[in-house]
Amino acid sequence: MSEQTFLLPDVGEGLIEADIVTWKVAVGDVVVLNQPLVDVETAKAIVELPSPFAGRVVTLHATEGETIAVDAPLVTIATDDTATAVPAVEHRREPVLIGFGVADESAPVVRTSRRQSGAAAPAAPARSVPVTRGPVRTSPPVRLLAKQLGIDLATVHGTGRDGVVTRADVERLRASAKKVTSGPDIGARFVGRTLSPWQTMAEEERIPMKGVLKTMADAMLSSVRQAPQAAVWLRLDATATMERLASMKADPAYAGVRLSPSVFLALAFVDAARHFPGINSYVDEATNEVVLRRSVNLGIAADTPRGLVVPSIKNADQLSLVEMANALSTLVETARAGTLTPADMAGTTMTITNVGPFGVDAAVPILPPGTGAILCVGQIAKAPWVVNDEVVVRQVVEISMTFDHRQIDGALASAVIAHVGAFLRQPPLTL
């Protein structure tokens, strides 16, 4: 028998630490090769780590919620012929992490108690016994939500494909539970977690600054300390965009394409970069240079169960309307599912944030580090508007843009937001 210690790998590019989200095994469990061991959260994503060894779990070197460094001991497994002799089962194998094989959500977890040396194993009972349910199939964000709500996933009936437990399944069980006598039910979210109802909350609660929360805080502090920021606003009539959008949705040629005002806004912003390349720049403080980029990686701020994340659409300036719509849809779904990769989060050159879905007219966002501009769009709503000296009802929206005033002056920023506004007032026929 020998003991093998699995060290925390670098699951991203240059990451130095990760948080333990959920252990999927316990001390004494017998695990098979590539069986999921633990979900860890980095600054960029939640990653499931499969076991590189087969054997019995001897030590878990960290607890849930603890932060450990890359290359620190994660789990120790005793490997021998007995521990690896786990009955094979037919299952589907899915890739999880390069360098560590594949994970199997349906792999058996065998819990055994330690026996004294020489003790005989108890005889199997003659009567039949209930079959123990294996590990619950679900995604890391759903596991995290269930943990925050105090819900045992083993009690949740999965309605997803192959019995996968979905977020809706967990929320349905929560809704069916006994509610508090007054006030709102559980549901308010803050810094990537679901809070308890006001009536049952502790007088004071302390939340560790780590994971996505720490990354966002560090980025925003770095931004406001290093970059002098200014903003411009524009209120415009977007009726033509909304009419064009409605017409395209009714066109069979666009069947299956998820079209939205955000698609038009993204196209407008990257078109502005083609006309005014200076907006797609940043200041390299290490070399004291302004770096001008002629390729747009368009960041999309997304509200997810983990908090606010900003993945980017690579080479967005080269995409057609349909390609942009598909890229936006895929990016947002991936972000909300918690399956973003470090590559998805890297290399953003310009950013869009949308406060419209929250019923907000406008906002002034903070500039993400390493970028020159961030565009914000509010809700598109009917409002009185003057057309040909007459007051009519139109679809009106307000957009704003924060920019780095070290290399982008007010004239350039105004030209860019005016270009975006002209695009939305009358989308080009070439779309």
Q: CA-CA distance, 297 to 349, in Å (whole number)?
A: 5
Q: CA-CA distance, 278 to 105, in Å (whole number)?
A: 48
Total Cβ atoms within 10 A of residue 222: 13
Backbone angles phi, psi at 303, to 5 degrees: -85, 115
At 116, the amino acid letter reads Q
Pairing of strands 350-354, 373-377: parallel
Q: Are the beta carbons of 296 and 282 closer than 8 angstroms?
A: no
| Active-site choice (61, 91, 275, 405) | 405
Max intra-chain CA distance, the chain: 97
Q: Identify the sign of the CA torsion 25, 36, 15, 343.
A: negative
Q: CA-CA distance, 384 to 391, in Å (whole number)?
A: 6
Cα-based torsion angle of the residue sequence 414, 416, 418, 424 in order, rounded to the nearest 10 degrees: -150
Strand partners, 237: 396
| Active site (annotated) includes residue 275 | no
Q: Phi/psi zone of residue 99: left (φ > 0), alpha (ψ -120 to 50 degrees), beta?
A: left
Q: CA-CA distance, 211 to 228, in Å (whole number)?
A: 27
Catalytic residues: 405
